[in-house]
Chain A
Amino acid sequence: MERQEYIEFILDHYQHPRNKGALEDPDMLVNGGNPGCGDVVTLYVKLDNEDRITDIRFEGHGCTISMAAASFLTEMVNGKKLDEIRQLDYQQLIDILGPEVVKSRLRCATLAMDTLQGAAREYPSRKATGQKLIQPIVLTHTLLTE
């Protein structure tokens, strides 16, 4: 794809985000942040008995790339098992978003994926004790911009 096509793909997700919003009674509720940009993302995930994602939503604030990447991620991972999530490679995501477009903002591009992978690694130990993985929602993105 040409650079402009990658940009249009990102802008489409930024201006028309998919799966935006909160989920009632999620199995995982996790936050991620990128202090360089002030990006914040909160992921809500529902899982079935086999730890397969049956629904995923996101909320957040941040730059175009971070929000577009979060939107795209929700489409990319829906239906996948946490085992598969743990094995995802950043490069797969970057190749889709456009390596040339996001190369100077890799932290922004991978924020949502990084957050989800962290949750996928932590979840089994929580589940073993009969708990969900629920973090308090953190919306302190303004701290660095005060």
Chain B
Amino acid sequence: MSEYARPDVLVGTAWVQEHLTDPNLRIAECDEDVLLYDVGHIPGAVKIDWHVDLQNPVVRDYINKNGFEAVLSSRGIGNDTTVVFYGDKSNWWATYAFWVFQLFGFEKAKIMNGGRQKWVAENRPLSQEKAKYPPTYFVARDRDDNQIRAFRDQVMKHVAAGNPLVDVRSPQEYHGELLAMPGYPQEGAMRGGHIPGARNIPWSKAVREDGTFKSPDELKELYQSQGITEDKDVIAYCRIGERSSHTWFALKYLLGFPKVRNYDGSWTEWGNLVEAPIERP
């Protein structure tokens, strides 16, 4: 059996428990559910809220270099600290935070395989005590949006050039049957469907029942069977960019694709964009 391309970025729950007191390690919980951290978290873990901490509060964009430095410094993360992310929803937001950290070139980052659900399922310890660390003086690199982030104009050119896109939403969203769940407010986009040429490979196909990533061979087969191969320039998208950061992580770090980007504007931008081409069978 082959190995993940970057096995060092994925750690298990047992490994994390063994390293709880490692002073050079910071564990960071990133959830969709904003109060789950308060319900109980891995002892010593800090909270990073994707909405409050990582996003610009006014413009639809991410924090800038100063903001990033402030977030890390306030969590006691120094330039030599390794950060292990974990969270709910099979690590959607953990991989999203990981991706935002990579915009700033933060290399000492890992994901706890299986996320919060696996830690809880294994009855590992949880704490309600808020972890506090002395502030550090973190110095960040400038944010670089050119390598792993895609913008709508780039996606337009990508489509025109016939390059592959992965739509990681549910098949119902992909087919334009749903903008959201049936019977509920169909909000978030004016139109349903998918970006022309995009292949539908739901993010969940990459994980097992317990939330851990499938084996390298299984992942390779999953994407290869849809024509998503490492020699290509690949863009992943979903509704707001969180599920697709999960797929981005799998393609880039587990399969080692050299060029894969996350289109964080995703369907909430494309499905609202005037004259944007849409495929809907």
Residues of B near A15 (CB, < 8 A) are 39
The answer, yes or no, to whether A35 is at the interface (CB within 8 Å) is yes
The answer, yes or no, to whether B183 is at the interface (CB within 8 Å) is yes
Binding site secondary structure of chain B: loop
Give the CA-CA distance A65 to B31 in the complex, in Å.
13
CB pair B185–A35 under 8 Å, yes or no, is yes
CB pair A33–B183 under 8 Å, yes or no, is yes
CB pair A14–B181 under 8 Å, yes or no, is no
CB pair A11–B185 under 8 Å, yes or no, is no
Residues of A near B32 (CB, < 8 A) are 37, 63
Give the CA-CA distance A97 to B179 in the complex, in Å.
30
Please, which residue of chain B has its CB at the minimum distance from the CB of A135? B183
Residues of A near B161 (CB, < 8 A) are none
From A63, A65, A104, A143, contact of B181 by CB (8 A):
A143
From B35, B49, B89, B173, contact of A7 by CB (8 A):
B35
Query: How many A residues have CB within 8 A of the partner chain?
Result: 28
The answer, yes or no, to whether A145 is at the interface (CB within 8 Å) is yes
CB pair A63–B33 under 8 Å, yes or no, is yes
From A10, A140, A143, A146, contact of B35 by CB (8 A):
A10
Give the CA-CA distance A11 to B170 in the complex, in Å.
31
Chain B contact residues, CB within 8 Å of chain A: 32-36, 38-39, 49, 51-52, 89, 169-173, 178-188, 202, 204, 239
Considering the complex of A and B, which 6 residue pairs feature the smallest CB-CB distances, nearest first?
A35-B180, A33-B184, A64-B35, A63-B33, A146-B170, A138-B183
11 pairs of residues in contact across A and B, judged by CB atoms under 8 Å: A33-B184, A35-B186, A40-B181, A63-B35, A64-B34, A138-B181, A143-B170, A143-B178, A144-B180, A146-B171, A146-B202
